[in-house]
């Protein structure tokens, strides 16, 4: 038994904010941002929410899979920026798409969230508890960003991506002889380094809280520490996943990495001695959307025909927590 992704979908806010727009807000330049990050523009919510974007992405993924909403058994939303603490975003999505037979809950593994969601679904589906799942990464990070902080506000964007996964027999052979489905997962966490990328919860107990008043409620990041973590841990965990599945870098057609920064992706390709042409990117147009980056990219690659049946893909996510992981699958 394995799992296969049979549908993908994505949804982005209408508003485009370019680097030139940001020059009006903070002391920065298009040149600096493009050179250090690879980002030229991002989408920013003017009203779209984590749940409305997620629901749209789910509807598209379901449409591609040919399944009905009534058939959905599990909805997992990975987010670190839900509009409500209660109820969870997955339940809002369940309600808005009408998937009344599904079990729905959120998980938060920041930028690795979609990957951790996929791996969680893998465990549920492989054990036979559920037969299918909608996995979503959805974020509105624009509300967690300090628009006066040029070190962070240039990086992030809003959006949602979804994948519909189904339990499948492990013996579906593609034309190129590969067996379709998820081959292996590797994931890890390093809580000891968690504070290099953090955002403080806004709701303090108003009656009894006696600690120090928290001044900064926005995303805070030690960019260089995040960079070091990503460029060391990501190639290592991808290599570990390839070793575990008995594959080499040459057996992989596409590496779909969390879109944090072009320089991180280039460094990972170099460490792995893999051709950078195998690393599709969309960060130039949409920025870093945390848990949404991988499914939005996957959806684009799938709909454009870049990813074909039988292609072997490595998905790798990494981010706050710190969390990281890699999954190997044949499309």
205 assigned to active site: no
**Tokens standing for residue 173:** 């052979």
User: Using CA atoms in the order 199, 203, 207, 209, what is the torsion angle rounded to 10 degrees?
Assistant: -10
Catalytic residue selected from 258, 261, 282, 301: 258
* Residue nearest ligand ACO (C-beta atom): 223
Q: Which of 116, 122, 255, 318 binds ligand ACO (CB under 6 A)?
A: 318
Burial of residue 65, with CB atoms counted within 10 A of its CB: 0-12 exposed, 13-18 middle, 19 or more buried: buried
* 188 interacts with ligand ACO by CB under 6 A: no
Which is it for the CA torsion 81, 5, 131, 129, positive or negative? negative
* 194 interacts with ligand ACO by CB under 6 A: no
Instruction: Tell how far CA 100 is from the center of its chain.
Output: 25
* 94 interacts with ligand ACO by CB under 6 A: no
* 291 interacts with ligand ACO by CB under 6 A: no
Do residues 50 and 84 lie in contact, with contact meaning Cβ atoms separated by under 8 Å? no
Helix (H) or strand (E) holding 331: none
222, 291, 304, 303: which is closest to 258 by C-alpha? Answer: 291
288 assigned to active site: yes
* 23 interacts with ligand ACO by CB under 6 A: no
Q: Can you tell me the distance from the alpha carbon of 122 to that of 59, in angstroms, rounded to the nearest whole number? A: 21
Catalytic residue selected from 88, 91, 111, 153: 111
Q: Select 260 or 300, whichever has its Cβ closest to ligand ACO.
A: 260
Do residues 46 and 14 lie in contact, with contact meaning Cβ atoms separated by under 8 Å? yes
**Tokens standing for residue 160:** 């949602």
* 286 interacts with ligand ACO by CB under 6 A: no
Binding to ligand ACO in span 99-158, by CB under 6 A: 111, 150-151, 154-155
* 87 interacts with ligand ACO by CB under 6 A: no
What residues act catalytically?
A: 111, 258, 288
Query: Which residue ranges make up the site for ligand ACO (CB under 6 A)?
Result: 28, 32-33, 36-37, 111, 150-151, 154-155, 197, 221, 223-224, 226-227, 230, 260-261, 263, 288, 318-319
């Amino acid at each position: 038994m394995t799992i296969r992704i049979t549908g993908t979908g994505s949804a982005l806010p209408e508003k485009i904010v370019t680097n030139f727009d940001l020059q009006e807000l903070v002391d920065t330049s298009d040149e600096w941002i493009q050179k250090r990050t690879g980002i030229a523009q991002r989408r920013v919510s003017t009203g779209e929410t984590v749940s409305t974007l997620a629901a749209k992405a789910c509807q598209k993924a379901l449409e591609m899979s040919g399944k009905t909403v009534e058939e959905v058994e599990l909805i997992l939303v990975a987010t670190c920026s839900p509009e409500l603490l209660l109820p969870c975003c997955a339940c809002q999505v369940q309600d808005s798409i009408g998937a009344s037979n599904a079990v729905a809950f959120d998980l938060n593994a920041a930028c690795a969230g979609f990957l951790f969601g996929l791996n969680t679904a893998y465990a549920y589906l492989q054990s036979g508890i559920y037969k299918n799942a909608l996995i979503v990464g959805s974020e509105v990070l624009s509300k967690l960003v300090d628009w006066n902080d040029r070190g962070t506000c240039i990086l992030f964007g809003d959006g949602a991506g979804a994948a519909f996964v189904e339990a499948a027999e492990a013996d579906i052979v593609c034309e190129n002889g590969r067996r379709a489905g998820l081959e292996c997962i590797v994931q890890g966490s390093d809580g000891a380094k968690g504070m290099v990328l953090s955002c403080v919860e806004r709701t303090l107990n108003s009656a009894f809280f006696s600690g120090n008043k928290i001044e900064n409620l926005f995303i805070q990041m030690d960019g260089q520490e995040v960079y070091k973590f990503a460029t060391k841990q990501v190639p290592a965990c991808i290599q570990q996943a390839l070793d575990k599945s008995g594959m080499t870098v040459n057996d992989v057609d596409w590496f779909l990495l969390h879109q944090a920064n072009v320089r991180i992706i280039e460094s990972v390709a170099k460490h792995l001695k893999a051709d950078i042409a195998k690393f599709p990117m969309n960060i130039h147009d949409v920025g870093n959307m945390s848990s949404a980056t991988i499914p939005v990219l996957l959806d684009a690659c799938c709909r454009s025909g870049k990813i074909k049946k039988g292609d072997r893909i490595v998905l790798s996510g990494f981010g706050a927590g710190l969390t990281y992981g890699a999954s190997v699958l044949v499309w």
